[in-house]
């Protein structure tokens, strides 16, 4: 993208601030895991860098589990302009009801969206750490060690009828398309 995604001016507001504004009403704490605090807009969040540096996204996921004080932790990527609080709240409620450890959307073709999911902090923290110690890098490489609740397409559509929650921005074209969609909504 040529610039940190978190600072992209999405309809005039930094992308990370947009996501914060959507999720802050449902969060008891907000932690931003990033390599460089200078790339963040000024928000009332707790910033932290990776607890175990150099491990990529799985290291950031571990850091979120390590730093949170909550039993359940929703994790969201900074490039999802249409993040959906209903999916996250619904997933958290299902984790409470079932005792499962991960509530993760399962998209078409058996593709998980681990960066728009909810995790039981302590159980997942241990499993993620074990995966890191085994030099595994995939965000879902540790799912076999915990109880995973797959949020199917029907569940996600109930909360996200426009099917935009998992639209992520990877290119300037994606960014323009997302802004166009946001204006239409």
What pLDDT, on a 0 to 100 scale, did the predictor assign at position 128? 98
- The answer, yes or no, to whether residue 39 has pLDDT greater than 70, is no
List, for residues 133-155, the tens digit of each pLDDT value. 999 999 999 999 999 999 999 99
List, for residues 123-135, the tens digit of each pLDDT value. 999 999 999 999 9
Classified as helix, coil or strand, 175 is helix
Overall domain count for the chain: 1
Residue in the structure block whose two tokens are 């907000």: 30
Say if CB 182 and CB 167 are below 8 A apart: no
State the CATH number of the domain containing residue 72: 3.90.550.10
List the one residue out of 149, 161, 127 whose CA is nearest residue 58. 127
List, for residues 40-76, the tens digit of each pLDDT value. 667 888 899 999 999 999 999 999 999 999 999 999 9
Question: At residue 148, what are phi and psi to the nearest 5 degrees?
Answer: -100, 125
Domain that holds residue 162: 5-184
Rounded to the nearest integer, the mean pLDDT of the chain is: 93
Q: Which residues neighbour 124 within 8 Å (Cβ) at sequence distance 6 or greater? A: 65, 73, 101, 102, 142, 146
List, for residues 68-107, the tens digit of each pLDDT value. 999 999 999 999 999 999 999 999 999 999 999 999 999 8
What pLDDT, on a 0 to 100 scale, did the predictor assign at position 5? 87
Q: List, as one string, the DSSP characters of 7-41.
A: G-EETTEEHHHHHHHHHGGG-S--EEE-S-GGGS-
Question: At residue 102, what are phi and psi to the nearest 5 degrees?
Answer: -135, 130
Say if CB 182 and CB 19 are below 8 A apart: no
Phi-psi domain of 105 (left: phi exceeds 0; alpha: psi -120 through 50; beta: other): beta
């Amino acid at each position: 993208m040529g610039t940190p995604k978190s600072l992209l001016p999405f309809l005039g507001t930094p992308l990370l601030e947009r996501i914060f504004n959507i999720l802050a009403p449902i969060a008891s704490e907000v932690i931003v895991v990033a390599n460089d605090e200078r790339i963040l807009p000024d928000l009332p969040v707790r910033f932290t860098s990776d607890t175990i540096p150099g491990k990529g996204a799985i290291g950031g996921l571990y850091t979120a589990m390590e730093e949170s004080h909550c039993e359940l932790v929703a994790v969201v990527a900074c490039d999802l302009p249409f993040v959906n609080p209903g999916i996250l709240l619904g997933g958290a409620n299902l984790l409470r009801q079932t005792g499962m450890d991960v509530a993760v959307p399962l998209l078409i073709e058996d593709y998980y969206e681990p960066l728009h999911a909810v995790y039981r902090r302590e159980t997942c923290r241990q499993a993620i750490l074990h995966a890191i110690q085994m030099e595994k890098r995939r965000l879902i490489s540790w799912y076999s060690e915990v109880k995973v609740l797959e949020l199917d397409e029907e569940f996600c559509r109930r909360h996200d009828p426009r099917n935009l929650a998992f639209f992520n921005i990877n290119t300037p074209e994606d960014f323009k398309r997302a802004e166009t969609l946001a204006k239409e909504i």
